[in-house]
Amino acid sequence: MSSLRVILASSSPRRRELLTLVGIAHEVIPADIDETERRGEVPAEHAERLAREKGVAIAHRHPDALVIAADTIVVIDDRVLGKPRTADEAGLMLRTLRGRTHRVLTAVAVARGTRLVSGVEEVDVTFRDVSDADIAAYVATGEPMDKAGAYGIQGYGATIVRRIEGDYFAVMGLALGRMVELMRRLGYRYEFGGRISE
Rounded CA-CA distance 55/68 in Å is 6
Q: What DSSP string describes 42-101?
A: -HHHHHHHHHHHHHHHHHHH-TTSEEEEEEEEEEETTEEE---SSHHHHHHHHHHHTTSE
User: Is residue 168 over pLDDT 60?
Assistant: yes
Cα torsion angle, 43, 49, 52, 54, sign:
negative
User: Contact at 8 Å (CB) between 76 and 103?
Assistant: yes
Average pLDDT over residues 182-193: 95
- Summarize pLDDT for 132-155 with one digit per residue, the tens: 999 999 999 999 998 999 999 999
- Summarize pLDDT for 16-48 with one digit per residue, the tens: 999 999 999 999 999 989 888 888 899 999 999
User: Is residue 1 over pLDDT 60?
Assistant: no
- Summarize pLDDT for 57-67 with one digit per residue, the tens: 999 999 999 99
Reduce the DSSP state of residue 41 to 3 states and report it. coil
Average pLDDT over residues 1-11: 84
Give the pLDDT of residue 52: 98
Reduce the DSSP state of residue 18 to 3 states and report it. helix
Rounded CA-CA distance 107/122 in Å is 9
Domains of the chain: residue spans and CATH: 6-197 (3.90.950.10)
Average pLDDT over residues 114-120: 97
Q: Is the entire prediction scored with pTM above 0.85?
A: yes
User: Is residue 2 over pLDDT 50?
Assistant: no
Give the pLDDT of residue 20: 97
% of the chain residues with pLDDT over 70:
99
User: Is residue 92 over pLDDT 70?
Assistant: yes
Q: Which helix (H) or strand (E) holds 16?
A: helix 13-21
**Higher-scoring residue by pLDDT: 82, 160:** 160
Q: Active-site residue numbers?
A: 71
User: Is residue 84 over pLDDT 80?
Assistant: yes
- What mean pLDDT, rounded, does the chain reach? 95
